[in-house]
Amino acid sequence: MPRDMQLEQLAQHTDAALLDRYAAGDPAAARALTLRLVPRALGYAARLLGDAAEAEDVAQEAMLRLWRAAPGWRSGEAQVTTWLYRVVTNLCTDRLRSRKRRPVTALEAAPEMADGGPGAVAGMIEADRMAALQAALDALPDRQRQAVVLRHIEGLTNPEIAAVMDIGVEAVESLTARGKRALSAILAGRREELGYEDED
């Protein structure tokens, strides 16, 4: 069977079903899981760390742990993505502790984003806005940053975030609310610079 067709069929499987197939020795499942999960692990790590190279290392390490956990994986105990986000969170926390938060240099270190393609000027504005968002995220306390990124960029629900962060749903709501207020305050002074005044 051609590889593309095989991947298309596997794309309909749940993460847990793919992990089962991987553990049973199906190499196509390894490819499908890689394509599905690496972008999520990488994107989340990049937002937490503000450093593309470190985010790649974290994503690779988290996936390696998933491969090793696959043979003993019990479906129904935890969602694969929840588990993966938790591992990425822990790996990023370790890295942030060890490097002792650098001063905000996110404009230079911001991860490379996919090109939206709406034209060069608009693209530059978007890139500036993303860099500003990353710089503001970097300024948040770790837990607030994790909660805000999981909720508003990764699109997880509050109960899912609670499972990832091992806290209650109310604590998640509190963290995201405080995080958003802090982000708004940080970005408020840059509205004009980021091109928002012109749109009113």
Partner 1 sequence: MKTRIDPMRAQDDLEDLFATARHMPVRPSAALLDRVLADGLDAQPRPHTAPLMRPPAAAAGGLWSRLAALFGGAGALAGMGTAAAAGLLIGFAQPSNLATLEDAMLGSPLETVELVPSVDGFLVGN
Q: Does 156 bind partner 1 (CB under 8 A)?
A: no
Q: Does 64 bind partner 1 (CB under 8 A)?
A: yes
Going 163 to 149 to 79 to 60, the CA torsion angle's sign is negative
Site stretch for partner 1 (CB under 8 A), options 1-9, 89-97, 99-107, 150-158: 150-158
Q: Does 34 bind partner 1 (CB under 8 A)?
A: yes
Nearest approach in angstroms of CB 119 to partner 1 is 14
Q: Which of 4, 5, 12, 114 binds partner 1 (CB under 8 A)?
A: 114
Please list, residue by residue across 137-172, b when 16 or more beta carbons sit within 10 angstroms of its beta carbon and e when fewer do.
Answer: bbbbeebbbbbbbbbeebebebebbbbbbeeeeebb
Nearest approach in angstroms of CB 176 to partner 1 is 11
Q: Does 50 bind partner 1 (CB under 8 A)?
A: no
With a CB cutoff of 8 Å and minimum separation 6, the contacts of 54 are 45, 95
Interface mask toward partner 1 for 66-95; x: CB under 8 A: -xx-xx------------------------
Please list, residue by residue across 88-119, b when 16 or more beta carbons sit within 10 angstroms of its beta carbon and e when fewer do.
Answer: bbebbeebbeeeeeeeeebeebbbeeeeeeee
CA distance 35 to 59: 12
Q: Does 17 bind partner 1 (CB under 8 A)?
A: no
Nearest approach in angstroms of CB 65 to partner 1 is 10
Gyration radius (Cα) of the chain, Å: 19
Residues forming the site for partner 1 (CB under 8 A):
22-25, 27, 30-31, 33-35, 38-39, 42-43, 46-47, 52, 55-56, 59-60, 63-64, 67-68, 70-71, 111-114, 116, 126, 129-130, 132-133, 152-153, 155, 180, 183-185, 187-188, 191, 194, 196
